[in-house]
């Protein structure tokens, strides 16, 4: 009788731990991601979704999104070429031809990059990149170092601010000008 034994050392064949986090655990094409919340839901539609559970991230390509109120009406909608959703915080980064529209504020935000901080409910741009806001009434303002509350009620720019403001009609502000659409530039 003969007994043979074998011992293999697999240590050299192990993959680097970082390698595992750089590969998505799952990929989906033409996907819809829905997050349901007390005050409504957020729907993300993407050409591709890559799920990285170890990084607590989802990467989305060619994204369209809608925020819906509890009654199902659209609150905010928009699109971007790329997005990164941080699943541990619900923070989102959007980049590449970002367009965001607030139905309530009747205003668009245009940028190359925006970050949404879910806990603070703040949308911000990069300090050195221009962000432009266009209201449905024709007013526009743009600048660097943009920051705003989600509902766009408290907007700030850190530099190089410029724009055109359209005064409200006399019907709106009581000054009797008949809404002639005069513009003021700054």
The confidence band for 151, taking pLDDT boundaries of 50, 70 and 90, is low
Give the dihedral of Cα atoms 118, 120, 123, 124; nearest 10 deg.
-120
Rounded CA separation 181/78 (Å): 28
Residue 4 has, within 13 A of its CA and on its CB side, a CA count of 1
pTM: 0.76
153: Cβ–Cβ under 8 A, 6 or more apart, which residues? 105
**CATH class of domain segment(s) 23-185:** mainly beta
pLDDT tens readout for residues 75-109: 889 999 999 999 888 899 999 999 999 998 899 99
Give the three-state DSSP class for 107: strand
């Amino acid at each position: 009788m003969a007994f043979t034994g074998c011992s293999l050392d697999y240590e050299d064949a192990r993959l680097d731990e970082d390698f595992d986090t750089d590969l998505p655990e799952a990929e989906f094409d033409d996907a819809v991601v829905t997050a349901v919340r007390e005050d409504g839901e957020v729907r993300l539609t993407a050409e591709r979704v890559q799920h990285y559970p170890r990084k607590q991230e989802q990467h989305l390509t060619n994204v369209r999104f809608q925020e819906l109120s509890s009654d199902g009406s659209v609150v905010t909608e928009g699109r971007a070429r790329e997005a990164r959703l941080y699943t541990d915080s619900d923070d989102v980064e959007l980049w590449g031809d970002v367009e965001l529209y607030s139905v309530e504020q009747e205003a668009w935000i245009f940028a190359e990059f925006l970050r949404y901080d879910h806990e603070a409910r703040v949308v911000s741009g990069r300090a050195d990149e221009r962000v432009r806001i266009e209201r449905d009434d024709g007013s526009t303002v743009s600048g660097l170092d943009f920051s705003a509350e989600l509902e766009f009620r408290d907007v700030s720019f850190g530099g190089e601010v410029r724009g055109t403001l359209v005064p409200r009609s006399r019907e709106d502000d009581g000054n009797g000008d008949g809404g002639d659409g005069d513009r003021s530039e700054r």
